[in-house]
Amino acid sequence: MLNGNKLENVYSFEYLGSRAQCDSDDEADVRHCIAIAQSVFSSLFHIWKDHRLPRSMKLRLYRLAVCSTTAHACKAWSLTTRVQQIINGFNSRCLHVITGQHYRVTATHPVFDLVLALRRRRLRYLGHILRMDSKRLVRRTLFAYVRGGGANTPEGSLLQDCHGRLIEDLVVEAADRSAWSRKVNSLT
């Protein structure tokens, strides 16, 4: 009960475009975002099959319309190996339709690597958090979650591309915005 209103007990719910489940499944929100992105991709099918349009234009539209939809709330995901496989599979299927290349080719050598784009977005966001005032809740939450970084970093966390570095060292590194930007762009 809340203010005299009975609250319904649900297995999952959506809030601000993200899906949360009571079993804390790491893949639920990812699959939800991919389903929405798949809908966007399908609505543009006539463009993907139009042979008059250049492939570069199709790929740009794919990145802007479909991949940006997929990336919604990716900073909150646990980007585990399994989640990366799910994202890569979706990207591979889409690129197969756009380019006509075989699924294996688009999975192993994609013309646009969605997983890498998400990792870069997350690393860029980490830099913003590390530069925040130490009293900000999101920064305090990150510090509590990773417990100092290094070997204690959970799989798929925002610090996954920091190679076991301590969070205090990352704060110093993130203070130099241009160096952090180079770090983000050099990610492979």
Could you report the per-residue pLDDT of 77-99, keeping only the tens digit for each? 889 999 999 999 999 999 999 99
List pLDDT tens digits, range 36-60.
999 999 999 999 999 999 999 999 9
Residue 11: pLDDT band (50, 70, 90) is low
Return phi, psi of residue 86, to 5°.
Answer: -65, -45
pLDDT surpasses 90 at 129: yes
In the chain, domain spans: 12-112, 120-185
Identify the pLDDT of residue 35: 94
Give me the percent of the chain exceeding a pLDDT of 70.
Answer: 90
How far CA 8 is from CA of 2, 16, 21, in Å, comes to 11, 19, 14
How far CA 153 is from CA of 48, 86, 165, in Å, comes to 41, 22, 9
- In terms of Cα–Cα distance, which of 10, 35, 34 is closest to 23? 10
| Extended beta strands in the chain, E state | 12-15, 18-21
